[in-house]
Amino acid sequence: MIQHACFADTLLDAAKEVFETMIFMDLQLCSEPGRRVDGEALMATITFSNSIEGCLAVCTDTTCAEAIAINMLGLEAGADLSVEEVSDAIGEVANMVMGSIKSRLTDTYEGIQVSIPSVVRGRELVNSLGEKSGRVSVQVNLEDAHLMEISLLYRESAK
């Protein structure tokens, strides 16, 4: 079984790969661990299952989500975006980070199946997987400005 601390490194490395190679935004570990996303936020979640099961969540405020979407779409700063475009972009971030995590865990956990991403919008968003689950969370800064929280809820499956 993989160690809890390794999951944190895996999360961070996967997110760095996605943001640096496909979104062209600098991503660094936040200097204030435990800091939460304030105000109106978007949370993209994607579930996974097999010998390990759980949920990856990417949560950030709407300003950061719009900045991510603008970079992903190659638009000028300040461009008008629809709610759907921003949600689609954040959902794809979760999808790609999960894809990268899956590749990194494939030696330990074969055949992980991944769902399609879903996105919710609201304030003080929190996800849960119930009892006997582990939770790894990393807070990162994008472009030295925006805060984003990436969390992995997981448990060993009965399979």
Partner 1 sequence: MAKSLLIVDDSATMRKIVIRTVRMSGLDFDRTEEAGNGAEAIEKLKQSPVDIVLCDVNMPEMNGIDMVKKVRAELPTCANTKIIMVSTESSQDLIDSILREGANGYITKPFTPERFQEKLSPFMN
Chain positions contacting partner 1, by CB under 8 A:
17-18, 21-22, 69, 72-74, 85, 88-89, 91-92, 95-96, 98-100, 102-103, 106, 110-111, 114, 116
In whole angstroms, give the CA distance from residue 76 to residue 93.
Answer: 19
Quick one: 5 or 103, whose CB is closer to partner 1? 103
Tell me the three state secondary structure of residue 4. helix
- Pairing of β 27-29 and β 146-156: unpaired
Tell me the three state secondary structure of residue 19. helix
Q: Which residues pair with 136 in a beta bridge?
A: 152
Minimum gap (Å) between residue 138 Cβ and partner 1: 17
Quick one: 2 or 36, whose CB is closer to partner 1? 2
In whole angstroms, give the CA distance from residue 159 to residue 144.
Answer: 42
Minimum gap (Å) between residue 22 Cβ and partner 1: 5
Quick one: 4 or 63, whose CB is closer to partner 1? 63
Minimum gap (Å) between residue 40 Cβ and partner 1: 20
